[in-house]
Amino acid sequence: MSSNKTQWETVIGLEIHAQLKTASKLFAGTNTTYGASPNSQVSLLEAAVPGTLPVFNEKVLRYAIRFGLAVGAKVIAKESRFDRKNYFYPDSPKGYQITQLHHPIVNMAPSP
């Protein structure tokens, strides 16, 4: 690193995790009740049983749009997509996370 500190600018990014208050999960109809007994809130989908498919929770979409409007997002996407982040790890039964990289619902960046 150069000794001249003025050549460097500090940029801090925050990754904020928030749990939405929904009755069921993001991609499955299973409950999210706090304190329920172990393994009582898991379906074939979360266990990554072959042939199961995710179904997006509509409430989550509504919350995402509300959040976007609340923080003054310029863009609420008319078309949005999910992306898979693939990696092997014991807490990831499907071998991927479902995320939004290319076409998120809320995008703070000004459109190009």
> How big is the site for other proteins, counted in residues (CB under 8 A)?
19
Closest CA to 43 of 64, 60, 58, 26: 26
Nearer to other proteins, 74 or 95 (CB): 95
Q: Of 5-13, 18-26, 31-39, 43-51, which segment contacts other proteins by CB under 8 A?
A: 43-51
In angstroms, what CA-CA distances link 81 with 10, 89, 100, 101?
Answer: 32, 24, 7, 8
Q: Which two tokens stand for residue 52?
A: 């199961």
Q: Of 2-10, 48-56, 58-66, 68-76, which segment contacts other proteins by CB under 8 A?
A: 48-56
- Kindly state whether residue 48 participates in binding other proteins, applying the rule CB under 8 A: yes
Residues near 106 by beta carbon (within 8 Å), at least 6 away in sequence: 64, 65, 67, 68, 71, 73, 75, 76, 77
Which positions from 50 through 89 interact with other proteins, judged by CB under 8 A?
A: 50-56, 84, 86, 88
- Residue 85 and residue 99: Cα distance in Å, rounded? 7
In whole angstroms, how close is the CB of 86 to other proteins at the nearest point?
Answer: 5
Interface residues toward other proteins, by CB under 8 A: 44, 47-56, 84, 86, 88, 90, 93-96
